Structure 1
């Protein structure tokens, strides 16, 4: 799901759309056909609605995968890890700089 679609539709609209798919799923031979039928009524693409349905199924435990909260935590930890790696690189470079400066100073005495 792109960020534009996440912001374009309110959580209430997304929940209603997913609920409609779940309620009418038995009326269609496949999930995709149910989604294709309901998506135009909501005003979103079929792929977007399918993503919402799958996300809800994962969050409710009906489908395998990382829940929304687990995904958010993973993203947060990845950002933190990236920031820590950057900080370590800066500290390593600074340490090497100051070590070299100390060596240069000792030889000049």
Structure 2
């Protein structure tokens, strides 16, 4: 049960964390090998800022289910997809589908969406 949260930012972060945790750590895109493997340790690329607060909750919830998530923080929106394509991370969670589709088309990435995550300004 949720309690009333006074701070608007805290409320947004809490709601986003709940939404992300509720979908059992679904992330927006993964590289080909990450889809095929049944991994217990994942490196997930995120954007600095509010995402870091949300993913602290996600990693804690995932750990309760035996999944270890290491977040890799980026400060530029092109870096997570590049790192994913190179195999430096297993997944990323930061973009909406039109952006991902454009990145795949423009750069020829072999990454695929696997779920939805919170996206906010």
What is the TM-score with the length of structure 2 in the denominator? 0.26
- Relative to its length, the structure with more strand (as a share) is 2
- Relative to its length, the structure with more helix (as a share) is 1
Structure exhibiting the larger radius of gyration computed from Cα positions: 1
What is the TM-score with the length of structure 1 in the denominator? 0.29
